[in-house]
Every structure is written in structure tokens, then in C-alpha cells.
Amino acid sequence: MGLGIIFAVITIFAALGLIRSLKAKNLLSTGFSFLTFAVFGWFSVLTLIDAFTGGGSTGH
């Protein structure tokens, strides 16, 4: 669960960076911010879904 929260915080920061880079019209920064937002957003959503549905490893 902690990993999903960390991924969600990184996703929020990436979204803020994406907005800031779009305002500054910096294409390289926009690209990296979008990729970070997409990858960590995907990881956070899937990690939280897995945590709430009880999936994943059994710990053996």
C-alpha cells in the first residue's frame, strides 16, 4: 500500500511539472513530464487496484 501512495505522490508532482512546462513552452521538459506522469500514474493505479482487490503474491 505504501508503494502505491509513493507512486501517487510522484504522479501528482509530475502533473504539476507537466502544467508548469506547458506554460513555459518547454518541449523537452513537457515530454519528460508527460512520460513520468503516464508511467507512474499507470503504476499507481494498478498498485492501488491490486492492494484493494487482494491480488499479488502470497508472501511465500
**Model pLDDT for residues 3-43, shown as the tens digit of each residue:** 888 889 999 999 999 999 999 999 999 999 999 999 999 99
Q: What is the pLDDT of residue 51?
A: 82
Q: Measure the CA–CA gap between 42 and 37, rounded to whole angstroms.
A: 8
Q: What is the pLDDT of residue 9?
A: 93
Q: How confident is the model at residue 60 (pLDDT cuts 50, 70, 90)?
A: low
Q: What is the pLDDT of residue 42?
A: 93
Q: How many domains does the chain have?
A: 1
Residue 18 within any structural domain of the chain: yes
What the block records as the C-alpha cell of 13 is 508532482
What the block records as the C-alpha cell of 20 is 508548469
Residue 30 within any structural domain of the chain: yes
Q: Measure the CA–CA gap between 34 and 14, rounded to whole angstroms.
A: 7
Q: What is the pLDDT of residue 5?
A: 86
Domain containing residue 29: 2-52
Q: Measure the CA–CA gap between 43 and 5, rounded to whole angstroms.
A: 10
Q: What is the pLDDT of residue 58?
A: 59
